[in-house]
Amino acid sequence: MKKEYCGLFGVYDHEEAARMTYFGLYAMQHRGQESAGIVTWDGDRIREQKGMGLVADVFNERHIGRELKGRIGMGHIRYSTTGASLLRNAQPFLIRHGDLRLAVAHNGNLVNTYELRCELEEQGSIFQTTMDTEVFVHLVIRNLNGNTIEEAIKLACKRLRGAYSMLIMANDKLIAVKDPNGFRPLAIGRLDDSYVFASETCAFDLIEAEYMRPLSPGEMVVIDGGRMSCDRICEPQPKKQCIFELIYFARPDSYVFGEVVYERRKEMGKVLAREAPVDADLVMPFPDSGNYAAVGYSQESGLPLELAMIRNHYVGRTFIQPTQGMRDFSVRVKLNPVRSMIQGKRIVIVEDSVVRGTTIRTRVKQLRALGAREIHMRVSCPPIKHPCYYGIDFSSKGELIAANHEVEDIARFLGLDSLHYLTIPGLLSSVSHKDDYCLACFDGNYPVKVEENAGKLSLEDSAAKPGIIKQFC
């Protein structure tokens, strides 16, 4: 599964604002490896540095220590795609309008972009990118007319539909906004006298900031002159948090939506053990995706946990081509099973998700070849049957194996003796507030209506650059 989220970080009134932002992004690198950007307010102007690649590659000491001056900073990381690189789409998105300098970092996906864009173009707007964020910025500017920037943002947000957690730097103010359903995470913390924002709290841990709380859905937090004020962009609406953060995306050491990710994953494994026990010799994950649910499954079932798939820690992005005879090489090079732990054994594999299934199929075949007696798989989420329009890329429905096939068919395709997906009720029993989550990818009930032309602009781009998957960031 592709990692499709983005990561946001902001800091207000810190001597080393750029450096803190750098490390905040660094801790959240798993949320986006395509591009990274940092902006700071130097008291007079916004300074920026953006580039393609990992945080450690995009920024150097000259950027952080000299050029990105100022006590207010914010940054953005974007997911990895295959295909052509698009620096043009890297964030934060920056514009100037008269004396106002505005930078926006956005996580999530709007579902009425096309409609808004057409409307704005009719009013003379010109677009240089295909990003949702550019549409939002035009809305803000058009609402500025006599309004404060805070009011303009609120008016602009009223026009948006979909998922957005945003950080906005407007000259010397730093503003955080979450959409009314709260699809995407965003937390606030303190670092001595400074305020900090981050998509995940692992960013706070690295810079030794203290986690305060998640933003509420529909909340707008403004930091201005060191004072924090909280406001709402709309009436309260039902929470529709993305449960995939808990299942898969977030780092297990983070708090997300107020939940401890590690514990939720372990709990999913425990429920799975109750829902679908097996008489087997051992439980094991394919590291690291199933690790924490496997711990839970083992503890609940009493079956021993084995870490019997060994990772090659030196697998990088490039190596020379294997020979044609070396089948499934790219899968095998990453993980190698411990032969003696497999041979003659009845094995339960715990995984956190199945998207296309091809990698799993190869691994199962390999275990069979080493003499595994039985192979059972337990998946710590329900079957993904519907695309996500709020920011996760399951690519397209055609590639979602569960959208088109029954569980028995999938088990047969994967070569398994048995296969069980966590049920929706089981999943909800693993989290603290079962009504607060969006389940659209499982049940197709989309909490926010999606415009007909959703993804049209993005798709156009992806057609232009073959190999790029949909860009919902």
**Using CB under 8 A, which of 146, 225, 227, 320 touches a second copy?**
320
| Residue whose C-alpha is closest to residue 134's, from 167, 169, 106 | 106
Residue 2 interacting with a second copy (CB under 8 A) = no
| Long-range contacts of 139-143, Cβ-Cβ distance < 8 Å, separation of 24 or more | 140/102, 141/95, 141/97, 141/102
| CA angle at 427 for the pair 436 and 365, rounded to the nearest 5° | 140
Per CB under 8 A, the segment of 29-37, 351-359, 393-401, 433-441 that binds a second copy is 29-37
Q: Which of residues 231-290 bind a second copy (CB under 8 A)?
A: 251-253, 260, 262-263, 288
Total Cβ atoms within 10 A of residue 350: 29
**Using CB under 8 A, which of 1, 8, 11, 27 touches a second copy?**
27
Distance CA 196, CA 437 (A): 25
| Residue whose C-alpha is closest to residue 216's, from 253, 185, 251 | 185
Give the sign of the dihedral formed by CA 459, CA 463, CA 469, CA 473: negative
Q: Which of residues 39-68 bind a second copy (CB under 8 A)?
A: 42, 44-45, 47-48, 54-56, 59-61, 64-65, 67
Q: Which of residues 104-133 bind a second copy (CB under 8 A)?
A: 118, 121, 123-128, 130
User: Is residue 438 part of an annotated ligand binding site?
Assistant: yes
Per CB under 8 A, the segment of 175-183, 335-343, 373-381, 383-391 that binds a second copy is 335-343
| Residue for token pair 């100022």 | 70
Per CB under 8 A, the segment of 168-176, 298-306, 426-434, 441-449 that binds a second copy is 298-306
Give the list of residues 6+ apart from residue 359 with CB closer than 8 angstroms, or none.
331
Rounded to the nearest whole angstrom, what is the least distance from the CB of residue 113 to a second copy in the complex? 13
Q: Which of residues 4-23 bind a second copy (CB under 8 A)?
A: 16, 19, 22-23
CB 218 within 8 A of CB 236: yes
Per CB under 8 A, the segment of 152-160, 180-188, 321-329, 355-363 that binds a second copy is 321-329
Query: How many residues form the binding site for a second copy (CB under 8 A)?
Result: 92
Torsion of CA 265, 267, 268, 272, to 10 degrees: 140
Q: Which of residues 135-164 bind a second copy (CB under 8 A)?
A: 137-138, 141-142
| Residue for token pair 């650059």 | 465
Residue 6 designated active-site: yes
User: Is residue 388 part of an annotated ligand binding site?
Assistant: yes
Rounded to the nearest whole angstrom, what is the least distance from the CB of residue 133 to a second copy in the complex? 12
Distance CA 365, CA 159 (A): 51
CB nearer to a second copy: pick between 69 and 385: 69
Q: What string marks each residue from 336 to 355 as x (binds a second copy by CB under 8 A) or -?
A: xxxxxx--------------
Give the sign of the dihedral formed by CA 321, CA 2, CA 465, CA 96: negative
Known binding-site residue numbers for [4Fe-4S] cluster: 242, 388, 438, 441
Active-site residue set: 6
